[in-house]
């Protein structure tokens, strides 16, 4: 008997010792069911709770003890839920604010540093703001990548605009940027993922690595909600002081920003319609299963706030953004809410961006983040099991490089070695040295003929499979963050910068195992990079910073 059960005795009928009462009968402990989300699960059932897998044994859930990633959200007119679950509103001025940044002293030489800002502009006439862009700054060593996700599904990446991110996702050394559905832009990097809904939602998910290493408007991810309003100077403050401490230094503080606004008190003419329309949140039968297992009333409160603040009284967008946010949280609980089956709700929200599908796409409440033919070439490291809503291709179909939904066997392939016509149709072939590669199911399938004899590479390079991400001076030091994908081609022999340098004979011509062309000169200098050079005079590895030769 569990220790928390009382040992007091009472007269009356009871099950024999070692058995337990369930459904009007006595059963063995091994027959006891478990309960999750108000549903009964039979012994041996397995469910996923958070990131942990749990099995029903002897009437209790026995779960793995993995530390889970955490998500911070900003929904609608600046409704925050921090990584630790604190909910609050912050109405800043028309400015950029830091929602995630590394704490002082937490910058990592091996993992880099992360900073995420969002930019807001007034979309009402009472200084209540909407999110217009999200910027991610990731720095590793001397290399910095800055991505700005914009509300027209484009992105600025190191000041270069990319506007075809559905068909042509961006794959940088450290960050991947793509359109994942009709609702979301996504930026993913080491231990983080940012989803930006152009209608006004931001979801930042961080891996456990960042626990207690960050600060900003999303909190400090330390499991303690009592210290969430810690300012950038380390002082627990009011919401207004806390928010302003993370304001971009270039912004001016608006005179009527950061006030504790109550839109329904300011615009009382909107209050009645807001209250009436927002009742559909939680009231519609499509929400029944979800509202039984989670706290949902805050979403109705947010809806009331946003609908009172709207300038255009004919717009239902504030309501619909909150509906989408609630439906997404339901999905995080494993409950799919098909809200479009509610005729009234669909009538209110079918006009907002990304909800109505066309071109053969279908709306799914929960789908993975890799749904294109191009994704087939990067599945080794850049696709994760996730749940993202929006318009997707139908089941067993993928978006090809022309923006069409096709069956897997019709998937196009992307040939990075052909700059003139990189998009190849299914069944196309491409030469890789002495091998012929076939485009099958969105991936290149090449022969395994040994090409070392058939291909002549320049200098001391050899033909081999290698990871392009770590094959040059500029990328080798960042090899820990490289994806596992490999390509065929000419490259330096051996494993750069490791044991192969130590086994070289002093009589072998000097080779910089990190240099792009494997030059054979004794003094190998590559601009602005640290390289390892093996001296043919001593046979020892030497370490120096080179300048351009």
Q: Are 27 and 116 in a shared domain?
A: no
Counting the structural domains of the chain, the total is: 4
Q: Looking at the structure, tell me whether residues 113 and 214 fall in a common domain.
A: yes
Task: Give the residue with greater pLDDT, 540 vs 459.
Answer: 459
In this structure, are 12 and 145 located in the same domain? no
% residues pLDDT > 90 (the chain) = 41
In eight-state DSSP terms, residue 333 is T
- Can you give the pLDDT at residue 508? 32
Q: What is the average pLDDT across 353-359?
A: 90
Q: Is residue 18 part of a domain?
A: yes
pLDDT at 16: 87
Tell me the pLDDT band of 417, cut-offs 50, 70 and 90: confident
Residue 53 and residue 476: Cα distance in Å, rounded? 37
Q: Are residues 200 and 282 in the same domain?
A: no
Q: What is the pLDDT of residue 150?
A: 96
3-class SS of residue 256? coil
Is 227 or 11 the better-scoring residue by pLDDT? 227
433 within domain boundaries: no
> 79 and 58 in one domain?
no
Query: Between the ranges 187-191, 312-316, 458-462, where is the mean pLDDT highest?
Result: 187-191
The span from the CA of 13 to the CA of 246, in Å, is 64
Q: Choose between 195 and 510: higher pLDDT.
A: 195
> Does 526 lie in the same domain as 466?
yes
Tell me which of 429 and 497 has the higher pLDDT. 429
* Residue-number span of the structural domain to which 504 is assigned: 462-545
Q: Is the pLDDT of residue 57 over 80?
A: yes
The answer to whether residues 234 and 269 belong to one domain is: no
Three-state SS for 129?
Answer: strand
Please tell me which residue, 380 or 263, carries the higher pLDDT value: 263
Whether 412 has a pLDDT exceeding 80, the answer reads: yes
Q: Is 391 part of a structural domain of the chain?
A: no
pLDDT band (50, 70, 90) for residue 517: very low
Last residue of one domain, picked from the residues 36, 66, 96 = 66
Higher pLDDT, 419 or 473: 419
DSSP letters for 194-209: EEEETTTEEEEEE-GG
DSSP string, 369-424: S--BTGGGGSTTTS-----EEEEEPPTTEEE-TTS-EEEGGG--EE-TT-SSS-EE
Is residue 478 one of the residues assigned to a domain?
Answer: yes
- Judgement on whether residues 182 and 98 belong to the same structural domain of the protein: yes
Which pLDDT score is estimated for 258?
56
Give yes or no: residues 60 and 141 share one domain.
no
Percent of the chain with pLDDT over 70: 77
3-state SS, one letter per residue, for 472-527: CHHHHCCHHHCCCCCEEEEECCCCCCCHHHHCCCCCCCCCCCCCCCCCCCCCCCCC
End position of a domain, from candidates 335, 369, 389: 335
Digit-coded pLDDT (tens) for 111-163 = 789 999 999 988 877 778 889 999 999 998 888 999 999 999 999 999 999 99
Whole-number average pLDDT of the chain? 80
| Residue 43 and residue 122 in one domain | no
Residue 295 lies in a domain: yes
Q: What is the pLDDT of residues 223-281, one digit of tens each?
A: 888 999 999 999 998 998 999 999 998 887 664 555 667 888 877 778 888 999 999 99
- Has residue 381 been placed in a domain? no
- Answer yes or no: is pLDDT of 179 > 90: yes
SS3 of 335-355: the string is: CCCCHHHCHHHHHHHCCCCCC
**Could you tell me the pLDDT band of residue 31, with boundaries at 50, 70 and 90?**
confident
pLDDT of residue 111: 74
pLDDT at 494: 62
- pTM here is 0.76
Tens-place pLDDT, residues 476-514: 445 555 555 565 566 776 654 333 333 222 333 333 333
**271 within domain boundaries:** yes
Same domain, yes or no: 269 and 322: yes
Residue ending a domain, among 213, 245, 277, is 245
Same domain for 74 and 187, yes or no, is: yes
Give the 3-state secondary structure of residue 117.
strand
In a domain, 268, yes or no: yes
CA 411 to each of CA 114, 170, 364, 375, 424: distance values in angstroms, whole numbers, following the listed order = 35, 19, 21, 11, 9
């Amino acid at each position: 008997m569990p220790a928390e059960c009382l040992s007091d005795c009472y007269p009356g009928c009871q099950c024999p010792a070692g058995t337990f009462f369930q459904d009007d009968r006595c059963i063995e402990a091994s027959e006891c069911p478990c309960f999750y989300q108000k549903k009964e699960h039979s012994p041996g059932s397995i469910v996923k709770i958070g990131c942990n897998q749990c099995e029903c044994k002897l009437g209790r859930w026995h779960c793995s003890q993995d530390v889970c990633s955490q998500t911070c959200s900003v929904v609608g007119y600046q409704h925050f839920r921090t990584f630790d679950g604190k909910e609050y509103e912050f109405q800043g001025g028309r400015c950029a604010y830091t929602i995630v940044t590394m704490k002082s002293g937490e910058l990592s030489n091996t993992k880099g540093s992360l900073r995420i800002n969002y930019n807001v502009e007034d979309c009402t006439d009472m200084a209540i703001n909407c999110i217009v862009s999200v910027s991610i700054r990731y720095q590793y060593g001397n290399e910095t990548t800055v991505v700005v996700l914009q509300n027209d599904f484009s992105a600025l990446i190191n000041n270069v605009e990319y506007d075809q991110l559905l068909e042509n996702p961006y794959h940088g050394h450290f960050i991947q940027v793509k359109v994942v559905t009709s609702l979301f832009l996504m930026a993913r990097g080491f231990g983080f993922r940012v989803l930006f809904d152009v209608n006004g939602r931001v979801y930042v998910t961080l891996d456990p690595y960042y626990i207690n290493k960050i600060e900003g408007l999303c909190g400090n991810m330390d499991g303690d909600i009592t210290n969430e309003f810690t300012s950038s100077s380390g002082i627990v403050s009011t919401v207004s002081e806390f928010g302003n401490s993370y304001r971009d230094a270039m912004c001016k503080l608006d005179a009527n920003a950061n006030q504790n606004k109550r839109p329904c008190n300011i615009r009382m003419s909107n209050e009645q319609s807001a209250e009436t329309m927002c009742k559909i949140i939680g009231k519609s039968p499509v929400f029944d299963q979800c509202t039984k297992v989670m706290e949902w009333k805050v979403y109705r409160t947010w809806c009331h706030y946003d609908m009172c603040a709207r300038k255009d009284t004919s717009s239902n967008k504030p309501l619909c953004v909150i509906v989408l946010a609630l439906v997404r949280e339901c999905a995080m609980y494993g409950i799919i809410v098909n809200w479009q089956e509610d005729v009234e709700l669909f009538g209110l929200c079918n006009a907002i961006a990304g909800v109505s599908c066309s071109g053969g796409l279908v709306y799914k409440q929960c789908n993975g983040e890799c749904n294109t033919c191009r994704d087939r070439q990067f599945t080794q490291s850049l696709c994760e099991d996730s749940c993202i809503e929006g318009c997707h291709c139908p089941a067993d179909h993928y978006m090809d490089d022309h923006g069409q939904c096709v069956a897997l066997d019709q998937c196009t392939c992307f040939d990075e070695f052909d700059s003139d016509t990189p998009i190849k149709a299914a069944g196309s072939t491409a030469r890789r040295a002495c091998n012929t590669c076939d485009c099958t199911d969105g991936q290149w399938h090449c022969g395994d003929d040994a090409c070392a004899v058939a291909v002549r590479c320049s200098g001391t390079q050899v033909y081999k499979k290698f990871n392009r991400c770590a094959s040059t001076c500029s990328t080798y030091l960042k090899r820990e963050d490289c994806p596992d994908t490999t390509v065929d081609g000419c490259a330096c022999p051996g494993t750069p910068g490791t044991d192969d340098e130590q086994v070289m004979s002093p009589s072998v011509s000097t080779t910089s195992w990190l240099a792009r062309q494997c030059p054979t000169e004794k003094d190998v200098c590559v601009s602005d990079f640290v390289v390892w050079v093996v001296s043919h005079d001593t046979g020892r590895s030497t370490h120096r910073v080179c300048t351009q030769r």
